[in-house]
Copies of this chain bind each other. A is one copy, B any other.
Amino acid sequence: MSLPHALLTSLLEKSSSGYELARRFERSIGYFWKATHQQIYRELGRMEAQGWIAANSADEAPQSRKKVYRVLDAGRQALRDWAAEPSDPAELREDLMIKLRAEAVIGPLGLEHEVERRHALHRDRLAEYQAIEARDFSHRPLTREDTLRHLILKCGIRLEEAQIAWSVEALVTLRRLGSVTGRGAT
């Protein structure tokens, strides 16, 4: 579980309210880590209780309920400690792989449409990533920070490319099998 550390990182980039974090987790960070506002508020509460972050509610802007959190030294250190311990790669749980396996046992199930959908989806996502790349990382020289952020994006790009290539192959295979089953040795 590393949502708190994702939040710490995001807060270090910019002190924010829970609401702002929630919106940011639908965009940039959300590309590789999703979180709803409920998760975020709860986690912010815990982190505040733990002394990792602090809010400036009545402090400097008492006119609204908005609570802007900032990272304390303890939070900074917690993030450092967490980064130092090894973590395993994310496990994939792909529904589609189960469906393909089911197709092998009780097919045909008409999975072509599903694979087409995913092909389009990954193609769109790749285009989105490439647009970000052109917009944010095409100038030289890149700062240290931008180089690292670019690295993250490139991981996403490589994975989308792999998914697209596989989708194409899967589609060809499914169509070949489908046409064989459809007519065949009657």
- Chain A residues close to B by CB (< 8 Å): 2, 5-6, 8-9, 12-13, 29, 32-34, 76, 79-80, 82-84, 86-107, 109-111, 114, 117-118, 121-122, 144-145, 147-149, 151-152, 154-155, 158-159, 161-163, 165-166, 169-170, 173, 177, 180-181
Contact = CB atoms under 8 A, between A and B. Distances in A.
Contacts of A9: 98, 101-102, 105
* Residue from A8, A98, A148, A177 whose CB has the most chain B CB atoms within 10 Å: A98
Contacts of A118: 89
A83 B96 CA distance: 8
B109 A84 contact: yes
A2 B95 contact: yes
Contact of A103 (B117, B148, B158): B148
The complex is assembled from copies of this chain, and their number is 2
Contact of A102 (B5, B90, B105): B5
A83 B101 contact: no
Contact of A80 (B29, B97, B109, B145): B109
Contacts of A103: 83, 148
Nearest to A29: B101
A84 B109 CA distance: 7
Contacts of A89: 94, 96, 118, 121-122, 163
* Residue from A5, A6, A100, A105 whose CB has the most chain B CB atoms within 10 Å: A105
A106 B177 contact: no
